[in-house]
């Protein structure tokens, strides 16, 4: 099949959505499909990406509100004479908005996979009535809409996506052959994600100050980059956590696997979390999870089995859960084994199978039309 993937955010910007698209496109090429990814040029960075798929860069539009469709002529030109079987838009707006216009002009079946922030209440698109209307109209135009889990599926139903066009395909994770590459450190805690307010790292730092009162030997590593970095480092200093908390920056590849391996447990303190890849990666490495009871977290973590769920914005509850698992290593290890088993249900191969089957279904519907 000829599959086009269209996105407004891609590598070298590193995040769960960007890494998923890169991996999915590579996997589809391995299965014999011709895949082209259209992605924006990232200014001031090396835009080269090592992948099997064809990557085409376009200039970023002057405005996501007024100039989102400035990229449409480029997309039409580059597909002229080479009809796509399906266009997969990564994001409801603005990527899906551009894709909807492409569909009207070419008849190409369109699939949209919202990321979460593009459709959730209170986010920047939802706060702008004009953009919110575009987003809703775009979702209703799609031939298929993919939700990463039931939490996002329910939101899409509320936005008017017809049941027959809504598909739940959870994010996938590559399962390591071994869950331990090195011996976990006695009281090591890891958290990972973009350093933004929605990840709740400020709550985690407040909680960790309480953890140290019970377990002075405990250590926390926060991996990731983002605009909140300076403020979080200042907060850690003001709480007296300088010696106990390490800000590791962006961690990828073997360094990420080693970081997971050294940890006793993984914490997600998010205020909002549609369906976090980092959580799946930690579970695949056999780490017990402590996660806030928000978004897709309860779909991943079986409370009391593969980890513990706590309420968001609750440093005391979060601290108590961390202390509990660090104090009970045998229970934490049992939860880690359960987390690994749970992660097997979110395997990478299963996710690619689901997308491939959906692409074929959409391509066949075009042929029938």
Which residue, among 197, 195, 252, has the nearest Cα to 19 in the 3D structure? 252
Confidence of residue 61 (pLDDT cuts 50, 70, 90): confident
pLDDT tens for each residue of 181-210? 567 888 999 999 999 999 999 999 999 999
CA dihedral (180, 182, 186, 192) positive or negative: negative
Q: What is the dihedral of CA 193, 198, 204, 207, to 10 degrees?
A: -170
Sorted by where each begins, the domain ranges of the chain are 2-172+348-368, 188-344
d(CA 136, CA 86): 21
* Number of helices (H), then strands (E), in the chain: 13, 13
Return the percentage of the chain with pLDDT > 90, whole number.
90
Q: Do 188-344 and 2-172+348-368 have the same topology in CATH? A: yes
Give, for 266, the enclosing helix (H) or strand (E). strand 265-268
CA-based nearest residue to 265, from 218, 228, 316: 218
Quote the crossing angle between the two packed helices 277-284 and 329-344, to the nearest 10°. Answer: 110
Rounded to two decimals, the pTM is 0.92
CATH class of the domain at 2-172+348-368: alpha beta
User: For position 129, what pLDDT does the model report?
Assistant: 95
Question: Which among 130, 81, 84 is positioned nearest to 103, based on CA atoms?
Answer: 84
User: Span 227-240, mean pLDDT?
Assistant: 98
Q: What is the pLDDT of residues 29-48, one digit of tens each?
A: 999 999 999 999 999 999 99
- pLDDT of 368 higher than 60: no
Task: Please state, rounded to an integer, the average pLDDT across all residues of the chain.
Answer: 94
The pair of three-digit structure tokens given for residue 290, joined into one six-digit string: 């402590």
pLDDT at 369 over 90: no
Cα 256 from chain centroid (whole Å) = 16
Which band of pLDDT confidence, cut at 50, 70 and 90, is reported for residue 215? very high
Give the residue, 62 or 357, on which the prediction is more confident. Answer: 357
> How high is the pLDDT of residue 64?
80
188-344 has which fold?
Rossmann fold (3.40.50)
pLDDT of residue 180: 52
Instruction: Write the pLDDT tens digit of every residue in 283-323.
Output: 999 999 999 999 999 999 999 999 999 999 999 999 999 99
- At 181 the pLDDT is 52
What mean pLDDT is predicted for residues 122-148? 95
pLDDT of residue 179: 54
**Is residue 367 very low, low, confident or very high in pLDDT (cuts 50, 70, 90)?**
low
295-142-70 Cα angle (round to 5): 100
Residue whose tokens read 């040029």: 41
């Amino acid at each position: 099949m000829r599959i086009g993937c269209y996105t407004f955010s891609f590598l070298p910007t590193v995040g769960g959505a960007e890494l998923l698209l890169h991996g999915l496109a590579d996997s589809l090429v391995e299965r014999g499909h011709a895949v082209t990814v259209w992605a924006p040029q990232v200014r001031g960075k090396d835009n080269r990406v090592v992948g099997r798929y064809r990557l085409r860069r376009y200039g970023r539009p002057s405005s996501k509100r007024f100039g989102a469709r400035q990229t449409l002529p480029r997309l039409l030109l580059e597909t002229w004479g080479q009809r796509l079987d399906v266009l997969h838009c990564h994001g409801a707006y603005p990527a899906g908005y551009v894709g909807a216009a492409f569909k009207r002009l070419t008849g190409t079946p369109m699939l949209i996979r919202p990321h979460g922030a593009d459709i959730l209440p209170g986010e920047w698109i939802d706060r702008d009535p004009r953009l919110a209307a575009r987003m809703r109209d775009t979702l209703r135009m799609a031939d298929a809409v993919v939700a990463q889990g039931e939490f996002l599926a329910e939101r899409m139903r509320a936005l008017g996506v017809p049941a027959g066009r809504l598909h739940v395909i959870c994010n996938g994770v590559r399962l390591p052959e071994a869950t331990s590459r090195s011996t976990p450190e006695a009281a090591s805690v890891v958290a990972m994600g973009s350093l933004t307010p929605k990840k709740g790292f400020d709550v985690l730092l407040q909680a960790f100050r309480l953890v140290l009162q019970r377990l002075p030997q405990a250590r926390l590593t926060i991996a990731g980059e983002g605009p909140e970095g300076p403020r979080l480092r200042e907060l850690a200093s003001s709480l007296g956590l300088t010696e106990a908390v390490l800000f590791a920056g962006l961690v990828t590849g073997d360094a990420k696997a080693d970081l997971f391996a050294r940890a006793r447990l993984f914490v997600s303190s998010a205020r909002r979390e549609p369906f976090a890849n980092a959580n799946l990666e930690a579970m695949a490495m056999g780490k017990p999870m402590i996660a806030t009871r928000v978004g897709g977290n309860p779909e991943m973590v079986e409370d009391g089995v593969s980890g513990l769920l706590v309420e968001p914005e609750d440093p005391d509850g979060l601290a108590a859960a961390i202390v509990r698992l660090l104090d009970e290593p045998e229970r934490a290890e049992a939860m880690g084994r359960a987390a690994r088993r749970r992660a097997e249900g979110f395997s990478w191969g299963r996710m690619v199978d689901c997308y491939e089957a959906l692409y074929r279904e959409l391509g066949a519907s075009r042929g029938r039309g």
